[in-house]
Structure 1
Amino acid sequence: MLKVNVGNKPQADQPENGRAFEIEWRKEGWFIDGNAFEGDIVALGENRFHVIRNNRSYNIEVIDRNPAGKTTHLLINGQHYHTTTRDDLDLLLEKMGMQNASSQKINNVKAPMPGLIQSINVAEGDSIAKGDNLLVLVAMKMENVIKSSGSGVIKSLKVTPGQIVEKNQVLLEFH
Structure 2
Amino acid sequence: MLQVRTGPDQLWDIDYRSGGPITVNGQAFEWDLAALGDGCYHILYAGKSFAAELLSVEYQTKTLVLKLNGQRMELQAKDRFDLLLDKLGMSNTAASKVNELKAPMPGLIVDIRVSQGQVVQKGDPLLVLEAMKMENILKAPGEGTISAIKVNLRDNVTKGQVLIQFS
* Common fold by TM > 0.5: yes
Measure the CA separation in 2 of the matches of 1:160 and 1:151.
22
Q: Deviations over 1:62-88 (max 9, x none)?
A: 111112211111111111111111111
What does residue 41 of structure 1 align with? 33
Structure 2 spans left out of the alignment, 5+ residues: none
Measure the CA separation in 1 of the matches of 2:65 and 2:48.
21
Measure the CA separation in 1 of the matches of 2:38 and 2:2.
23
Alignment of 1:7-86 (within 5 A): 7=7, 17=8, 19-26=10-17, 27-86=19-78
Tell me if structure 2 keeps the 8 A contact 1:114–1:167: yes
Q: Measured at CA, do residues 42 and 104 of structure 1 come closer, stay the same or move farther in structure 2, by a change above 3 Å?
A: same
Aligned to 2:104, the other structure's residue is in SS state coil
Q: Measured at CA, do residues 147 and 56 of structure 1 come closer, stay the same or move farther in structure 2, by a change above 3 Å?
A: same
Q: Return 79-88 or 90-99, whichever deviates more.
A: 90-99
Q: Measured at CA, do residues 99 and 119 of structure 1 come closer, stay the same or move farther in structure 2, by a change above 3 Å?
A: closer
Q: Measured at CA, do residues 42 and 94 of structure 1 come closer, stay the same or move farther in structure 2, by a change above 3 Å?
A: same
What does residue 10 of structure 1 align with? none
Q: Measured at CA, do residues 78 and 152 of structure 1 come closer, stay the same or move farther in structure 2, by a change above 3 Å?
A: same
What does residue 145 of structure 1 align with? 137
- The letter for the 1-side match of 2:14 is I
- The letter for the 1-side match of 2:164 is L
- The letter for the 2-side match of 1:22 is D
What does residue 5 of structure 2 align with? 5
- The letter for the 2-side match of 1:94 is D
Measure the CA separation in 1 of the matches of 2:93 and 2:37.
38
Q: Measured at CA, do residues 167 and 38 of structure 1 come closer, stay the same or move farther in structure 2, by a change above 3 Å?
A: closer
Tell me if structure 1 keeps the 8 A contact 2:103–2:157: yes
Per the normalisation by structure 2, the TM-score is 0.84
Match of 1:160 among 139, 142, 152: 152
Q: Deviations over 1:106-128 (max 9, x none)?
A: 21122334444332110112111
* % same residue: 42
Measure the CA separation in 1 of the matches of 2:128 and 2:144.
19
Q: Deviations over 1:43-76 (max 9, x none)?
A: 2225322111122211111111112211111111
- The letter for the 2-side match of 1:107 is N
Measure the CA separation in 2 of the matches of 1:109 and 1:124.
14
What does residue 100 of structure 1 align with? 92
Measure the CA separation in 2 of the matches of 1:92 and 1:112.
23
Q: Measured at CA, do residues 102 and 35 of structure 1 come closer, stay the same or move farther in structure 2, by a change above 3 Å?
A: farther
Q: Return 165-174 or 19-28, whichever deviates more.
A: 165-174
Q: Measured at CA, do residues 79 and 19 of structure 1 come closer, stay the same or move farther in structure 2, by a change above 3 Å?
A: same
